[in-house]
Amino acid sequence: MKGHGEKISRNQEKAIAALLSCSTISDAAESIGIGEVTLHRWLKLEHFQAAYRGARRQVVNQAIALVQAGMSDAVATLRNVMTNPESPASSRVSAAKAMLDIGVKAFEVEDLAERVAALEKQTKHIN
C-alpha cells in the first residue's frame, strides 16, 4: 500500500461519485462496472477514504448553502404566520416557538464559537 496523499485513479473517482449517488455499496460497484470486493478494498485505502470524505464534505456543504439561501424566506414565512391574526392560533404559536428555538440555538452556536476561539487563543499562548 502506498503512502497517504496518493492520487486516486479515474475508476476510483467514478466509484466515489457512485457511492454518493447510490444507496448501497453493491449498487455503486455495479453502476460503474467493478466488483463489490474491489470497492470494499478501495474503501480501506487511506487515500481513497480521504478523497471520499472530501467528496461527502462537498455534498454536505452544497446542501448547507442551499438551506442557508432559503433561510430568509423561511424566517419571513414564520414571521408572517406568527403575526397574521387570521392564522389559526396553533399555527401562530408554532411559528413563535420555532422563532424562539431558532434564536436560542443561534445564540448558543455563537456563544460556543466564541468559547472555542478563546480556548484556541489560550492554547496558542501555552505552546
pLDDT band at 5 (very low <50, low <70, confident <90, very high): low
Cα 74–chain centre separation: 19
Give the model's pLDDT for residue 1: 40
pLDDT band at 6 (very low <50, low <70, confident <90, very high): confident
- Give residues with Cβ within 8 angstroms of 84, minimum separation 6: 92
Which of 9, 8, 14, 17 has its CA nearest to residue 55?
Answer: 17
Cell of 66: 442551499
Q: What is the DSSP letter of 4?
A: T
Name the average pLDDT for the chain.
93
End-to-end Cα distance, the chain: 35
Give the model's pLDDT for residue 125: 83
pLDDT in tens, 54-106: 999 999 999 999 999 999 999 999 999 999 999 999 999 999 999 999 999 99
- Give residues with Cβ within 8 angstroms of 16, minimum separation 6: 8, 48, 51, 52, 55
